[in-house]
Amino acid sequence: MINVSSIYKSFNGKDVLRGVDFNIQSGECVVVIGKSGSGKSVLLKHLLGLISPDSGFIKIDGLNLDELTYRELQRVRSKIGMVFQSGALFDSMNVYENLKIAIDRLTNLKQNQIDDRIEQCLDEVGMKETKLLMPSELSGGMKKRVGIARAISFKPDYLFYDEPTTGLDPIMSDTINKLIYKFNKKNKITTLVITHSMKTVFEIADRVLMLNNGKIYFNGSVNDIKNSKDVIISSFVNGKEILDLEYEKQ
Amino acid sequence: MLINLFLFPFNFLNKIFTIFGEYVLLIMKIFQSPREWKDYIGITFDQMMIIGTKSIPIVIITSIFSGMVTSVQSAYQFESWTPTWFVGSIVGESILLELAPVISALVLTGRVGATIAAEIGTMRVTEQIDAIESLSFNPVLYLIFPRVVAGICMFPILVVIASFFGIFGGWFAAIMTLDVTTYDFFKGFKTWFHPFDAFFGIIKSFFFGFTITSIACFQGYNAKGGAQGVGEAATVTVVTSCVMIVVLDYIISEILI
């Protein structure tokens, strides 16, 4: 379970997060949406312990990330699989090595078991044939799928995705959404997705959080957000400027 | 406007000290968890290959020509009023004390320093460092420790190689283009040779190795933005390292000679 309580964060005097509160239950798939610059990625970095909040706290499985030693924090991180926006594959390693380094580090598997796990993970994301390719030889969608394979390779309890469908064609976006849904429902991995894509929200979310001006502006189900009459929410959901929406109403 | 002009030196100094403080803090992080060092020994050997072995050709080429130039120019300066065997002495002392460590360090600033800064900088701007951290690696130990240790270990070896080939270059130029025999060259070389001279260059190279790799790691680690930020990190690394090499060269010479 993840518990985020009243976190504030500012950079160079600019408030990015201004009292963010929410909980994520075990096995839940929560999608965080919000305009560019609303603090979504900063929030995700807080959850990974890469940034500390100015005030407030984040608890993962009851452990306050800010009170942990570096080693304890590393132990918490080993329960989290992170899929970065660009894939963040290590470009000096091929696909096989990118997965192997994660499994080697975070599990006690033997070499033959590691090889089996890599095969299995790449198969799950439909990338079995790319095992020996370098990241520079992969397309954007392929990099993201390998990134997902790396994130699930050590069987984490939590999976975080940073804008998993950004920059992908609609078919590849659909493939990624299906993978996220599969790992959440089949493997019961607690999932947090940061996205701009409402299609992703509608396809995978159990619950939606909307960040606006550094605060949680909306916290509810997919149906609630679809039917919301709030101008800011419906502007984002429909992808229209607030002024355009008001003009349409008139 | 006038106030800004007045404050400029203070702001500049403030910035320099802030950056230096951040540099020291980052490097100190290497020593915070020595128990984890063993996990990164394999990567350190890889870096020794990249920093050391792959730099040997460029070090050999530059040191041979440094020795040849020293030989030719010292013969020109001492022409007609000193014996020719003096060339061997000048080449030997110049190469061992100054040219082998300093020229090698300046060349390696470009070859090694810029590469490290660009590599780590690219990893920073493409979120690879965040990925390293998310996989429970300590990014300082994963990225900085192996490179700095490899620099400290391999630079002295490169300087020994540079010294050998520098003297070889000086001897080659002396016998081929000057009126100096092999016997005269090595007679001059031995006349003012002290064993400490050979160690002096090696001592310098420890400091140069640490300085170049640590500055490069610091700049790369703190790179911001995209390609421009990476380019800036590489440029600042080369400029800062070159300045630091000549400053350290003077300080170490003052202390040890």
Mean pLDDT, each 10-residue run in order, chain B (257 residues) = 83 91 92 85 93 94 95 82 82 92 95 95 94 91 95 96 95 88 89 88 95 96 91 95 96 91
Closest by CA to A158, choosing from A178, A182, A187, is A187
Residues A55-70, mean pLDDT to the nearest whole number:
91
Q: Environment class of residue A157 by beta-carbon count within 10 Å: exposed (0-12), middle (13-18) or buried (19+)?
A: middle
**Which residues in chain B are contacts of A77 at CB distance < 8 A?**
133-136
Average pLDDT, stretch A41-61? 91
Dist. CA A222–CA A228, nearest whole Å: 10
Residue A27 token pair: 């096995």
**B134/A86 touch (CB, cutoff 8 Å), yes or no:** no
**Burial code of B60-97, b = ≥16 C-beta within 10 A, e = fewer?**
bebbbebbbbbbbebbeeeeeeeebbbbbbbbbbbbbb
- Mean pLDDT (whole number) for A109-120: 93
State the CB neighbour count (10 A cutoff) for residue A37. Answer: 11
pLDDT reading at A249 higher than 80: no
Domain interval for residue A213: 2-248
pLDDT at A167: 80
pLDDT digits 0-9 by tens, A145-189: 899 999 999 999 999 999 888 888 888 888 889 989 998 988 889
- Testing the interface with A: which of B47, B50, B135 to mutate, by most A Cβ within 10 A? B135
Comparing CB atoms, the residue among B33, B123, B135 nearest residue A102 is B135
3-state secondary structure at position A158: strand
Which CATH number does the domain housing residue A29 bear? 3.40.50.300
To which residue do tokens 């920093």 refer? B51
Angle between helices B56-77 and B86-94 (to 10 degrees): 140
Looking at residue A242, its pLDDT comes to 62
Chain A with chain B: Cβ pairs closer than 8 A: 50
Residue type, B237: T
pLDDT reported for residue B229? 93
Q: Is the pLDDT of residue A46 over 60?
A: yes
At A179, list the tokens. 């993978």
The pLDDT of residue A151: 92
A92, two tokens = 């000096």
Taking 80 as the threshold, does the pLDDT of residue A18 lie above it? Answer: yes
> What is the distance between the alpha carbons of residues B7 and B145, in angstroms, rounded to a whole number?
38
A86 touches chain B (CB under 8 A): yes
B-chain residues within 8 Å CB-CB of A45?
130
Amino acid A246: pLDDT: 61
The residues, any chain, with a CB within 8 Å of residue A210's CB and separated by 6 or more, are: A32, A33, A34, A216, A217, A218, A219, A225, A233, A236
Per-residue model confidence (pLDDT) at position A245: 56
- Distance (Å) of CA A146 to CA A103, A199, B122, B194: 14, 22, 19, 60
What pLDDT is stored for residue B69 in this prediction? 94
pLDDT at position A3? 92
Q: Measure Cα distances from B135 to A27, A99, A204, B122 in Å.
A: 21, 11, 25, 18
SS3 at position B66 = helix
DSSP B194-213: -HHHHHHHHHHHHHHHHHHH
Question: Is the CB of A105 less than 8 angstroms away from the CB of B135?
Answer: yes
pTM: 0.86
Alpha-carbon gap, residue A69 to B195, rounded angstroms: 49
Tokens of A143: 């990099």
Chain B residues whose C-beta is within 8 A of a chain A C-beta are 32-33, 122-123, 126-128, 130-138
ipTM: 0.86
pLDDT of A250 over the 70 cut: no
Strands A207-212 and A215-220, bridge-based pairing: antiparallel
Residue A159 β-bridge partners: A81, A191
**Count of structural domains within chain A:** 1
> Which residues on A lie below 8 Å from B130 (Cβ)?
45, 48, 50, 82, 84, 88
A11 to chain B, any CB pair closer than 8 A? The answer is no
What are the backbone dihedrals phi and psi of residue A170, each rounded to the nearest 5 degrees, phi first? -60, -35
